[in-house]
Structure 1
Amino acid sequence: MQLFYNPNIDFSAKQFVFPPDESKHIVRVLRKTEGDVLHITNGKGYLFEAEIMVPDQKRCKARIISETKAIPKRFKLHMVVAPTKMNDRYEWFLEKATEIGVDEITPIICDHSERKVIKLDRLERVLQSAMKQSLQTVLPQINPPITATEFLNSDVEGQKFIAHCMEGEKMELKRKVIPDQDLTIMIGPEGDFSKNEVDLAKEKGYVPVSLGNTRLRTETAAIVACATVAMINN
């Protein structure tokens, strides 16, 4: 199955016209024709089946023939992760986290961050592509970048964890996660969080956790955290 994405389609739609780029891909590349069935998601949990009515390369028109809604997850995972020095590593994290099942991502700029500017539109496209590739119907939300201090001073509910490399008392994440509860996990940059950031996190109720016995790169740590949460909640 190949999945298409359009955020504007909803359960009340009867017909749908694909944009020119997707129309061309459907008709010329996939060689779909009248009567063929396509699958579309709006990224909000809905999966639509649509039958092609007009296989036009510029305006491929389809008729909605069925719709289903995914069963909502019992919890939400919010990953708060500092951008990596190399863009492709952060994009890799977004791709894999989407496949595993992250719900929300916030890039944070930390005291030790080397990269302080990101292109949000590009990251959004990475998420869309990963959602379609993994045949999911919920698009993770990605928020504009914010400083770690600003984020820590915002209201966050549910379980709250910060993974850092400093010495001190830390429990393994897998031993602290409570199933079926919303949670937020903060992962720092290559240079780790600063002491001030860790102290503020503790003050705000974030629990310091470990992700294992080895020192992990930012993107690896984020994926390990996602996988740990997914395993506990399955």
Structure 2
Amino acid sequence: MHLFYTPDIAADYYQLSEEESKHCIRVLRLKLGDRVQLVDGKGGFYEAEIVDEHPKRTLLKITSTQKEYGKRNHYLHIAIAPTKNMDRFEWFLEKATEIGIDEITPIICDRSERKELKTDRANKIITSAIKQSLKAYHPLLNKARSFKELIQNAQASHKYIAHCEDQQKQELKTDFVERDNYLVLIGPEGDFSEAEISLALENGFAPITLGNSRLRTETAALQACFEINYLNR
């Protein structure tokens, strides 16, 4: 059954946008009476029936509703330095959404090669990924922030920084507390600077290792995403 993202759904009937209506009727060739599924990005999962197959304003009737559909038992926030090659960063957004993530903050670091990030295209990739993976929750993509600003305003119960410096670090599973709120920092291609690492440690971030291999930025972020989801199963 085909799935549509409908963030503003609020009644028993819903009219698809012109773009989604065209996709529904012209591309998917759905007809009057066909059934579709909807998610609102806030945990609502709906089944609906086409009651008007207009190619610019398709009208749906909601036939069933589930709240907190697929709600996870923890909250995961990853703050990651955007990669110079945007394809790699977008790959991370897509795969992390499919695996399970709640919040993503691009951070600008001392060694960042990319200092700006447009979120419109990135949010479209996330939306596509929740539709692909049947997720009812849409991850929050924040605007880019400086490393220092993020560090000084971090609110998570468990805060981690993954870096490549030769210092004592622990694995994520060490003393891991399940079903909680986590924030993981992932640095740019050149890693965090020593000053940034020191600042994170001073602000309560625990240094972690993601294995013996030197991982690319997007791979390290996805590894952290996978490990935290796995440990909370």
* Fold shared, TM-score > 0.5 on shorter chain: yes
2:32/2:52 contact within 8 Å kept: yes
CA shift, 1:2, in A, is 2.2
- The answer as to whether partners of 1:99 and 1:134 remain within 8 angstroms in 2 is yes
User: How big is the shift at 1:80?
Assistant: 0.5
Residue in structure 1 matched with residue 2 of structure 2 by the alignment: 2
Deviates more, 1:202-211 or 1:49-58: 49-58
Q: Does 1:156 align with 2:158?
A: no
* Aligned-residue CA RMSD (Å): 1.0
C-alpha deviation, 1:73, in angstroms:
2.0
Counterparts of 1:168 and 1:60, CA distance in 2? 58
CA distance in 2, matches of 1:40, 1:223: 27
The amino acid across from 1:128 in the alignment is: T
* Alignment-mate amino acid for residue 104 of structure 1: E
Q: Does 1:32 align with 2:26?
A: no
Q: State the alpha-carbon separation in 2 of the partners of residues 138 and 45 from structure 1.
A: 5
Superposition deviation, residue 21 in structure 1: 1.3
8 Å Cα contact 1:164/1:187 also seen in 2? yes
CA–CA separation in structure 2 for the residues paired with 1:155 and 1:29 = 44
How far, CA to CA, are the matches of 1:232 and 1:204 in structure 2? 24
Inter-partner Cα distance in structure 2 for 1:174 and 1:81: 21
Distance in 2 between the 1:134 and 1:61 partners?
24
Match of 1:63 in 2: 61
Counterpart residue identity of residue 15, structure 2: V
**Structure 2 residue matching 1:4: 3-state secondary structure:** strand
Higher deviation after alignment, 151-160 or 39-48: 151-160
Which whole-Å deviations, capped at 9, do the CAs of 1:2-32 have from their partners, x for residues lacking one?
210021003xx11111111111111122111
Q: Percent identity?
A: 47
For the pair 1:110 / 2:115, whether they are aligned, the reply is no
Query: Could you give the per-residue CA deviations for residues 122-145 of structure 1, whole angstroms, max 9, x where no partner exists?
Result: 111111011111111000001110
Q: In the superposition, relative to structure 1, how do residues 176 and 118 fare at CA in structure 2: closer, same or farther (>3 Å)?
A: farther
Question: Structure 2-normalised TM-score?
Answer: 0.97
8 Å Cα contact 1:177/1:229 also seen in 2: no
| Runs of 4+ with >4 A deviation | none
**Cross-structure match for 2:96:** 97
Using the alignment, how far apart are the partners of 2:184 and 2:175 within structure 1?
Answer: 12
CA distance in 2, matches of 1:215, 1:231: 21
Does the CA contact (< 8 Å) of 2:70 and 2:136 recur in 1? no
Q: What are the ranges of 5 or more consecutive residues in structure 1 without an aligned counterpart?
A: none
Pick closer, same or farther for the CA change 1:155–1:212 going to 2, 3 Å: closer
| Cα displacement (A) at 1:50 | 1.0
Q: In the alignment, residue 191 of structure 1 is paired with which amino acid? A: G
Q: Does 1:47 align with 2:83?
A: no
How big is each residue's C-alpha offset from its partner over 1:188-215, in whole Å with a ceiling of 9 and x where there is no partner?
A: 0000000110000000000000000010
Measured in 2, the distance between the counterparts of 1:102 and 1:203 equals: 26
Q: Which residue of 2 aligns with 1:187?
A: 186
Question: 1: distance between equivalents of 2:184 and 2:205?
Answer: 9
C-alpha separation in 2, matches of 1:81 and 1:52:
41
What is the deviation of 1:71? 5.0
Partners of 1:157 and 1:30 in 2: how far apart? Answer: 42
Per-residue deviation, 1:176: 4.2
Mark the CA change 1:81 to 1:176 in structure 2 (over 3 Å): closer, same or farther: farther
Letter paired with 1:50: A
1:144 maps to amino acid: K
1:175 maps to 174
> Helix, strand or coil: the match of 1:184?
strand
